[in-house]
Amino acid sequence: MPDLTAVKQALREQRIETPSWAYANSGTRFKVFGQPGVPRTPEEKIADAATVHRFTGVAPTVALHIPWDRVDDYAALSKYARDLGVEIGAINTNVFQDEDYKLGSVTNPDPRIRRKATDHLVDAVSIMDETGSRDLKLWFSDGINYPGQDDLRDRQDRLAAALRVAYDRLGPDQRILLEYKLFEPAFYATDVPDWGTSYAHCLELGDKATVCIDTGHHAPGTNIEFIVAFLLRAGKLGAFDFNSRFYADDDLMAGAADPFQLFRIMYEIVRGDALGPGIAFMLDQCHNIEAKIPAIIRSVMNIQEATAKALLVDRDALRTAQREGDVLAANAVLMDAYNTDVRPLLAELREDAGLDPDPVAAYHRSGYQQQIVADRAGGAQAGWGA
Ligand SMILES: [Mn+2]
């Protein structure tokens, strides 16, 4: 059986990064529904992230999105975050919300636009220098809608060239996380559609480039835990963007649609001894109709529960069953762990850490929600495109 002391220690040390944009308004392609109390500034988003950390104890960093979180003084923003008990995490670039990017950003046929997009990536590294961030997260909306619209192979060359410029700008302790997505907004061909493409570019770039797996960015039925196992073995898994996928990239609460998949992913992480800081465990979610802060707290808890179950897998028994070719026994070992109710264990760990055993209830009791609704009257709420 797994050593419970080690399981508890691993859970205590687990860290989950929350995204600034999840605290802001978001929506579907049809409508963005505003909510009272939504942040208007990067500082207010950071305050919400600090609140999630205050109730969960495991979310001490917040990812920023540039230009959504653009400020004049990033060092001051970092200090603001630190004063609230959190740090700034990954810097996410945005080369998808400018008129110039209609035909692509770093893969655009126009060299002027490619230059502009590449400059944005390089500028993001300068922001990382000021915030002390390790990770530059890149997702490209680039792709084409029609056969013949542009040359698929040339676009790969342009992508590689831009990545090289950004990579060469990285400091010794900084990394590129290259995210992939099967489709959308391009629907015929996407320039980084899958983990293989991301992996190949990362290999070409070097040790400081690794793949980011966004759990929502795959075809239905994709075995994501296989991708996790493969990339870990190759030393090329750098990060997760966790969310739930119901039919496409709809970015809902991690572990909501398929908690068993999240468990299988976390089992491969445990199997690969990769729970530590080498992998950035981030959320990439939007909360369009539900209250945002409690939804993020719930997502953090869902990841903790999946991790606890993964840690409880009896790996000796599993190995034995696998070696003996006992298919049913091997499967039963995994299922035993998955079917364990780990909520009491996590509640105990929270109480040990001086936290409320039920972070969502504690949040609702705290009055924070009422406070932000009262305080954040007037001004423009942050959100997509803002
Ligand atoms: Mn993502």
What digits encode the pLDDT tens for the residues 134-145? 999 999 999 999
- Report how far ligand 1's centroid is from the alpha carbon of 316 (Å): 35
- Integer Cα distance of 55 and 52 in angstroms: 5
180 CA to middle of ligand 1, Å?
A: 8
Q: How remote is the CA of residue 254 from the centroid of ligand 1, in Å? A: 12
Work out the burial of residue 383: count CB atoms within 10 Å of its CB; fewer than 13 is exposed, 13-18 middle, 19 or more buried.
buried
Which DSSP helix (H) or strand (E) runs through 363?
helix 359-366
Please report whether residue 3 resides in a domain: no
Neighbours of 350 (CB within 10 A): 22
The CA 117 to ligand 1 mean position distance, Å, reads: 19
Distance 5 CA to ligand 1 centre (A): 34
Q: How close is the Cα of 240 to the center of ligand 1, in Å?
A: 8
Separation of CA 365 and ligand 1 centre (Å): 31
Q: How far is the CA of 204 from the centre of ligand 1 (A)?
A: 22
- Which residues have C-beta under 5 Å from ligand 1, the single-atom ion? 214, 241, 284
Contacting residues for 221 by C-beta, under 8 A, at least 6 apart: none
Domain coverage including residue 63: 14-312
CA 278 to ligand 1 centroid distance, Å: 18
Contact indicator for 89, 79 with CB cutoff of 8 Å: no
> What is the distance in A from the centroid of ligand 1 to the CA of 3?
34
pLDDT for 27: 84
- Looking at the DSSP bridge assignments, the partners of residue 213 are 240
Q: Which residues are paired to 209 by β-bridges?
A: 176
Whole-number Å distance, alpha carbon 198 to ligand 1 midpoint, is 13
Q: What is the dihedral of CA 25, 27, 31, 36, to 10 degrees?
A: -30
pLDDT digits (tens, 9 = 90+) for 189-220: 999 999 999 999 999 999 999 999 999 999 99
> In which band, very low, low, confident or very high, does the pLDDT at 33 lie, cut at 50, 70 and 90?
confident
C-alpha–C-alpha distance, residues 374 and 82, integer Å: 24
121 falls in which pLDDT band (50, 70, 90)? very high
> Average pLDDT in the 43-71 region?
98
Distance 284 CA to ligand 1 centre (A): 5
- pLDDT tens for each residue of 255-297: 999 999 999 999 999 999 999 999 999 999 999 999 999 999 9
Number of domains into which the chain is organized: 1
Strands (E), 262-315: 280-283
Q: Is position 183 within any domain?
A: yes
Which two structure tokens, joined as six digits, stand for 265? 């992913």
Mean pLDDT of 242-247: 88
Asked whether residue 362 is domain-assigned, the answer is no
Gap from CA of 362 to ligand 1 centroid (Å):
29
- CA–centroid distance, 374 to ligand 1, in Å, is 32
Q: Is residue 361 part of a domain?
A: no
Cβ neighbours, 10 Å, residue 327: 10
What pTM, to 2 d.p., does this model score?
0.97
State residue 330 phi and psi, 5-degree precision. -60, -45
Instruction: Compute, in angstroms, the gap from residue 241 CA to the centroid of ligand 1.
Output: 5
Q: Is residue 129 part of a domain?
A: yes
Which among 317, 232, 269, 212 has a CA at the least distance from the CA of 11?
A: 269
Q: What is the CATH number of the domain that holds 76?
A: 3.20.20.150
**Does the residue 343 lie in any domain?**
no
Inside any domain, residue 168: yes
**Do β-strands 135-138 and 87-93 pair in parallel, antiparallel, or remain unpaired?**
parallel
* 19 Cα to the center of ligand 1, angstroms: 10
Q: How confident is the model at residue 28 (pLDDT cuts 50, 70, 90)?
A: confident
| Ligand 1 centroid to residue 71 C-alpha, Å | 22
What is the 331 CA–ligand 1 centroid distance (Å)?
31
Structure confidence at residue 29 (pLDDT): 80
In a domain, 356, yes or no: no
